[in-house]
């Protein structure tokens, strides 16, 4: 297999496997946040703020995977 083919496979695996965890995490986080708001609507502001902060941290992991995939592709 050529070097370009191996780079393409490595890039696909890096981004493909790198976003599975954050994708599942954000889905679970949003579900639990909405469930908490449904159970206790008075604290919606606090829950939403914490949920957005947690989503940002989780999304950072997907961005790291993207950076690694780009490094693999262009080196």
Given a cut of 90, is residue 2 above it in pLDDT? Answer: no
pLDDT surpassing 90 at residue 44: yes
Tell me which residue of 52, 48, 54, 22 sits closest to 36, measured CA to CA. Answer: 48
Ranges of each domain in the chain:
3-74
The CATH architecture one would assign to domain 3-74 is Up-down Bundle (1.20)
Q: CA 3, 8, 10 angle in degrees (round to 5)?
A: 95
pLDDT for 52: 93
Whole-model pTM: value is 0.78
């Amino acid at each position: 297999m050529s070097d370009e083919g191996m780079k393409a496979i490595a890039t696909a695996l890096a981004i493909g496997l790198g976003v599975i965890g954050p994708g599942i995490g954000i889905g679970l986080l949003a579900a639990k946040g909405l469930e908490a708001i449904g159970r206790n609507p008075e604290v919606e502001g606090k829950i939403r703020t914490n949920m957005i902060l947690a989503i940002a941290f989780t999304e950072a992991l997907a961005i790291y995977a993207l950076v690694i995939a780009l490094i693999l592709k262009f080196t």
